Amino acid sequence: MLTDADVACWLLKASGRPAELPDGPAAGPVVLSRCLRRSYRLGLVRPGQPCVLWVSGRVDPGVAAVGHIASDVREESGGPVVDVELTALADVVPRADLVHDPAVRDAEVLRMPAGSNPSYLRPREWAALSRRL
């Protein structure tokens, strides 16, 4: 089981770039609601924590935006949801680059790409990714 010490940054996945996310950082941050899977991890998610948006798929998979958790987890008709405030990156940090980075290659999203939201980055993984942002 994860603890607060294990999680330096939440990683939320999308199966394609959300339409609400502008291209590039010039547009500034946007608030998006993201669906989560019900699990013990939801008790660790709190407003203010860093998060990144991971876009999966065959075209440009990787980290597309960075920001923070903007709300408490709440229950909606489809299940748990959280708001995140994200700023799009000028360029996606490619999955291929992260797979070859010794500090990041063991990240949950790379080991278990079909895993559900929320995923996470450990402190050393977040530090390595932060240097690329």
More confident residue, 87 or 58: 87
- Give residue 20's pLDDT: 86
User: How far is CA 55 from each of CA 17, 76, 109, rounded to the nearest angstrom?
Assistant: 6, 23, 11
Q: Output the pLDDT for position 57.
A: 83
Residue 74, pLDDT score: 97
Using CA of residue 71, residue 8, residue 11, residue 62, what is the dihedral sign? positive
The residue count for the chain: 133
Q: How confident is the model at residue 2 (pLDDT cuts 50, 70, 90)?
A: very high
Is the pLDDT confidence value at 59 over 90? no
Q: How confident is the model at residue 26 (pLDDT cuts 50, 70, 90)?
A: confident
Q: Residue 61 — pLDDT band, cuts 50, 70, 90?
A: very high
Mean pLDDT of the chain: 94
- pLDDT single digits (tens) 75-108: 999 999 999 999 999 999 999 999 999 999 999 9
Tell me, what's the pLDDT at 17? 85
- pLDDT, position 86: 96
Residue 15 identity (one-letter amino acid): S
What is the C-alpha separation between 102 and 105, in angstroms, rounded? 6
Do 113 and 8 form a contact (C-beta atoms < 8 A)? no
